[in-house]
């Protein structure tokens, strides 16, 4: 037995609906408006076509993470992490340069010692792009 046409249509709409995503700016603006207390949380949720539970979750997350804004160590940690990443990147770039030079040297020496057509005699060159 098939469900009535209206139910089948509802199911099709529900299954084909894309999940909405909200920008951090939208979330924070809505939470700040909720914290002001000028409107009920359920009214704000209805006006913005979201569930009240979702707005409550955003509000809880906002309040939980609010102390981070005033944490001075946060900036120092971010600077240290950025500097560490820069050093690591520089080190890896240096290593890539050295390895590239070694590959080029080995290609040249292989060609000199085995002849320019060594790849056809000994198999494909593992360094070719």
Q: What is the pLDDT of residues 86-108, one digit of tens each?
A: 999 999 999 999 999 999 998 88
pLDDT mean by block of 10 residues, the chain; 129 residues:
55 68 94 93 94 95 87 77 94 96 90 78 61
Q: How far apart are CA 15 and CA 7, in angstroms?
A: 12
pTM reported for the whole predicted model: 0.47
* Confidence at residue 124, expressed as pLDDT on a 0 to 100 scale: 61
Q: What are phi and psi of 119, to 5 degrees?
A: -65, -40
């Amino acid at each position: 037995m098939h469900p009535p046409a209206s139910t089948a249509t509802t199911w099709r709409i529900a299954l084909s609906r894309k999940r909405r995503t909200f920008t951090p700016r939208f979330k924070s603006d809505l939470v700040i408006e909720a914290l002001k207390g000028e409107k009920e949380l359920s009214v704000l949720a209805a006006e913005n076509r979201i569930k009240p539970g979702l707005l409550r979750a955003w509000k809880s997350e906002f309040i939980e993470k609010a102390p981070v804004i005033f944490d001075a160590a946060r900036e120092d940690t971010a600077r240290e992490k950025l500097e560490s990443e820069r050093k690591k990147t520089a080190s890896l770039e240096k290593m890539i340069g050295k390895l590239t030079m070694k590959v080029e040297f080995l290609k040249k020496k292989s060609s000199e010692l085995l002849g320019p057509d060594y790849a056809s005699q000994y198999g494909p060159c593992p360094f070719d792009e």
